[in-house]
Structure 1
Amino acid sequence: MSNMAQEHVDFHHLQHNKVQSASLKTLWITLSLTLFFTIVEVIGGIMSNSLALLSDSAHMISDVLALGLSMAAIYMARRASNSRYTFGYLRFEILASFLNGLALAIIAIGIFIEGVRRFITPQDINFQLMLIISSIGLVVNIVLTIVLSRSMKEEENLNIQSALWHFIGDLLSSIGVIVSAVLIYFTGMLWFDPLISMVIGCIIFIGGFRIIKESYLILMEAVPDKFDLEQIRRDLLEVEGVEDVHEMHLWAISSDHYSLTAHVFVRESIQPFCIILAINETLEKKYNITHSTIQTEHADIHPHGDYGRTFSQRSSRNT
């Protein structure tokens, strides 16, 4: 009996999972390099007493946590769907991205507050150590940004995108710290350090906000930006036998897994199975939407209140 139940579950729930070998390999490489340099930068930031360097090291710590979340999301996405989680665990990718973006924003605010404090009370800095550590960081972040950018081209993944934003922020941070060290060396003005750190904080906040916004829209099941819902509706109305399209919903489960549902009033003279087949082919060929649920209806049997009656009256006048 249990075997039959298992077969029943497997039959009714298609495999909503996602194997991302390239993304996983990229994240392992990135995590290893990031963890190593984070330790170096934390020690260097404390020894040099540079806020710009410490803010960059704090950002690197968030990178380690973010990459850990991203890797957990990829492993979770491999798990098959079941009778409770009918879409599998794909949505965990978006939850991880949301937390990553939130971490970026919180860190940016903390950097900005500390920058203001150091503007008021400047502190001595070991600019030579600051310059050495930031130069090493620049090389590491260039390598990691290139690795993540290439991975984005292979597999679309919001977690990789959020990790990429982390390292773009790190790259700009490293450049900012180097500029700060050089300016302090030539001018002796210590306020360049908190100024650069505040600029870095603003850049980090912008990146975090973008990730929060994108993951929030997916969690709210908004229509993805790449789709025009009204254009899809017009294309479905072009399918032979479709008289009207309503109750249409389109949302993303994860960054590249889309679902669409719709109700359609159909012409009685055409087999509804043929209409559904044509609709599915249209969605797949024109929009790469492979997971759709179409309910065929007759306006007089499924009137949907005033909507169906109005449609029937309009159709009668046209004929």
Structure 2
Amino acid sequence: MAHSHSHSSPQPQRPHDSNARRLRLAFVITAGFMVIEVIGGLVSGSLALLADAGHMLTDAAALLFALLAVQFSRRPPNARHTFGWLRLTTLAAFVNAIALVVITILIVWEAFQRFRHPQPVAGMTMMVVAVAGLLANIAAFWILHRGSEEKNLNVRAAALHVLGDLLGSVGAIAAALVILLTNWTPIDPILSVLVSCLVLRSAWRLLKESLNELLEGAPGSLDIPALKRGLRREIPEVRDVHHVHVWLVGEKPIMTLHVQVIPPHDHDGLLARIQHFLEHHYQIAHATIQMEYQPCSVPECHINETAAEHAHHHHH
């Protein structure tokens, strides 16, 4: 996990290119099939197919967002956007998650209408379209899953969508089978609701992750009190760590912190050791460290210390 400041180095370009190519291909497949599924759903009267098409629509949108994000993340940082455009990818994931929730609600609503007034469904048409949709989804998922950066939130979001779609297509096939064999049409709205639940699950996760990043939240896996303790333990010169801020920009953690130290013989050496600790233990390659020789006198430090020592006695 060697991280380096790759702001200017041209090297990380290659995975981007292959990601963009994969996303483009998956987008063409998904968008094309979405149209076929909408037509198939309307012709056969199948809500499960329409649910799956709704699913595919958000898929196509997800892929489009991801593509735009890859394009934007190539833009170099400038004086105005000092982090570049990486946050745009997060915004795309957020918008996309909300779209998923809206579509799910619409489909569930329609399903309840169908329970009350069952509609005829053409099983054979539904079957053909569902099988074709399944094949399209398998192709798209396979393309995305070979994506170089499994860590990329957008490629992952897109792959998640397509996976949900796969399950949606399987559901539509199952519903078509039941209708062909028994002519029991309520299976169609039942399965459309199940597909919607799958969609909702991936949407919720995406919403949580992207919102955390937009609200400058720390990475979920990072335990800041443990980081402070570890720093004091590993580097004897460090007396106190305060004003710690961690946030994510395009999935890269960025950190600022104040470290109160015993005045060192070698200021730069100590700084390098602190940086190495952060990078080695927490994969934080971009940290701004302010070293202080005086005890911290800002009220925030005392609050932090007392809060850390007596979390249960003290309320700020």
Shorter-normalised TM-score: what interval? 0.7 to 0.9
Secondary structure of 2:83's match?
A: coil
Question: What is the match of residue 98 of structure 2?
Answer: 102
CA distance in 2 between partners of 1:209 and 1:309 (Å): 35
Question: What is the match of residue 41 of structure 1?
Answer: 37
| CA-to-aligned-CA distance 1:158-188 (integer Å, 9 cap, x gap) | 1112111211111111011111111112222
Deviation at 1:308, TM superposition (A): 6.4
Read off the aligned partner of 1:62 and give its amino acid letter. T
Question: What is the match of residue 278 of structure 2?
Answer: 283
Q: Does 1:140 align with 2:130?
A: no
Q: Does 1:180 align with 2:175?
A: yes
Read off the aligned partner of 2:299 and give its amino acid letter. G
Aligned residue runs from structure 1 range 21-170, under 5 A: 21-151=17-147, 154-170=149-165
| 1:131–1:181 contact (8 Å) kept in structure 2 | yes
CA distance in 2 between partners of 1:140 and 1:87 (Å): 37
Read off the aligned partner of 1:150 and give its amino acid letter. R
Question: What is the match of residue 10 of structure 1?
Answer: none
Deviation at 1:31, TM superposition (A): 0.7
| 2:218–2:248 contact (8 Å) kept in structure 1 | yes
Change (3 A) 1:16 1:230: farther
Specify the structure having the higher radius of gyration (Cα).
1
| 1:259–1:291 contact (8 Å) kept in structure 2 | yes
| CA-to-aligned-CA distance 1:79-118 (integer Å, 9 cap, x gap) | 1111111111110010001111111111111110010011
Read off the aligned partner of 1:171 and give its amino acid letter. L
Change (3 A) 1:87 1:154: closer
Secondary structure of 2:146's match?
A: helix
CA distance in 2 between partners of 1:15 and 1:107 (Å): 41
Deviation at 1:62, TM superposition (A): 2.0
Read off the aligned partner of 1:278 and give its amino acid letter. R
| 1:111–1:197 contact (8 Å) kept in structure 2 | yes
CA distance in 2 between partners of 1:117 and 1:199 (Å): 16
Q: Does 1:248 align with 2:256?
A: no
Larger displacement relative to structure 2 (210-219 or 225-234): 225-234
Give the alignment's TM-score, normalised by structure 2.
0.88
Question: What is the match of residue 217 of structure 1?
Answer: 212
Read off the aligned partner of 2:159 and give its amino acid letter. L
Deviation at 1:272, TM superposition (A): 2.8
| 1:242–1:264 contact (8 Å) kept in structure 2 | yes
| 1:111–1:198 contact (8 Å) kept in structure 2 | yes
CA distance in 1 between partners of 2:228 and 2:303 (Å): 20
Deviation at 1:225, TM superposition (A): 2.1
Read off the aligned partner of 2:281 and give its amino acid letter. K
CA RMSD of aligned residues (A): 2.2
Q: Does 1:303 align with 2:297?
A: yes
Aligned length: 296
Question: What is the match of residue 262 of structure 1?
Answer: 257
Question: What is the match of residue 5 of structure 1?
Answer: none
| 1:303–1:309 contact (8 Å) kept in structure 2 | no
| CA-to-aligned-CA distance 1:236-271 (integer Å, 9 cap, x gap) | 21224211111111221112x111111011112433
Secondary structure of 2:194's match?
A: helix
CA distance in 2 between partners of 1:161 and 1:306 (Å): 39
Change (3 A) 1:155 1:165: closer
| CA-to-aligned-CA distance 1:185-215 (integer Å, 9 cap, x gap) | 2222111111100111111011111100111
Read off the aligned partner of 1:87 and give its amino acid letter. F
Q: Which runs of 5+ in 2 are unaligned?
A: 1-5, 306-316
Deviation at 1:14, TM superposition (A): 5.2
